[in-house]
Structure 1
Amino acid sequence: MAEEKVTRRNEDLLEAIYEISQEKGYAKSRDIAAALKITPATVTDGFKKLQDAGLVNYEPYGGVTLTKEGLGIAKRTKQSHIMLCHLLELVGVDSSVADHDACIMEHGLSKQSYQKLLNMVGFLEECCKDPTIKKQFVEMVLEKK
């Protein structure tokens, strides 16, 4: 499965596997189901599809691990989420709204758009270190309705 053909659901599964594995050292279907608020059967079906695509190693009634390709997609999805959330917060969006919106926006973002947005966020952060520029930014972006 090419990275471009990975569905939103699959990206969510890969990201959840990655996050839970980072936290616990392993990931089981019940952990993924609880994190994504879906049924364990849905998770199992997803694991089978991801295994067929070469993105995870899955053993029924055991755990699941990410392949190198699956890990790459999971990390990029997670990084996209963080970057988009940060961008939205920089322009004044409430953090809970930013988190929700970033979750929607992170899917389907091309590598080019991801990189350009990442560069822009870095630029904005650097610019806002200067108090004069930060004041102008706040007045132009954050205080306008």
Structure 2
Amino acid sequence: MKIQESAENYLETILILSEKNAHVRSIDIANELSFTKPSVSVAMKKLRESGLITVDDDGFISLTAEGLSIADRMYERHKLLSDWLAYLGVPRDIAVEDACRIEHVISQESFEKIRAHVTEMKEHF
């Protein structure tokens, strides 16, 4: 299933926050992304209806297996591309910002080639 970039960003943010905190709520996401609470609430409703997250009675948000799969893929791309661009000499803040955009549009085939190249480079250093 192809989902929008904004949904991928939300899922990735939920994953990152869940690694830092025991529970994730909409307000945590709003604070992390500097979005309004109503905007995040609308997005969470769409993600829930798409089967990508669950929200319990206390408002705690969890990724479903499918949501986790998407979030993991985006986060892996983000980390690898950020590190790779920084290694190439791009200032870290710009590398992170650029990786954030690239991770959503790069094909899986191209990403796998970059990952293989980075892995090979690491073996030599």
Q: TM-score, normalised by structure 1?
A: 0.81
Runs of 4+ residues over 3 Å off in structure 1: none
RMSD: 1.4
1:109 is displaced (CA, Å) by 2.5
Q: Percent identity?
A: 34
CA distance in 2, matches of 1:112, 1:60: 40
Q: Within 2, Cα distance between the matches of 1:6 and 1:59?
A: 23
Q: Is the 8 A contact 1:48 1:58 kept in 2?
A: no
Query: How far off its partner does 1:73 sit?
Result: 0.5
Structure 1 unmatched runs, 5+: 130-145
**AA at the equivalent of 1:100:** E
Give the letter for the 1:42 counterpart: S
Structure 1 residues 8-59: Cα deviation after superposition (integer angstroms, max 9, x where no partner): 1101100111111111121100000011111111111111111111110124
> How far apart are the structure 2 equivalents of 1:67 and 1:38?
23
Pair 1:75 & 2:95 matched: no
Q: How does 1:61-72 map onto structure 2 within 5 Å?
A: 62-72=59-69
Q: Structure 2: which 5+ runs fail to align?
A: none
- How big is the shift at 1:61? 5.8
1:91 aligned residue: 88
Choose which of 29, 34, 58 in structure 1 pairs with 2:31: 34
Aligned residue pair count? 125
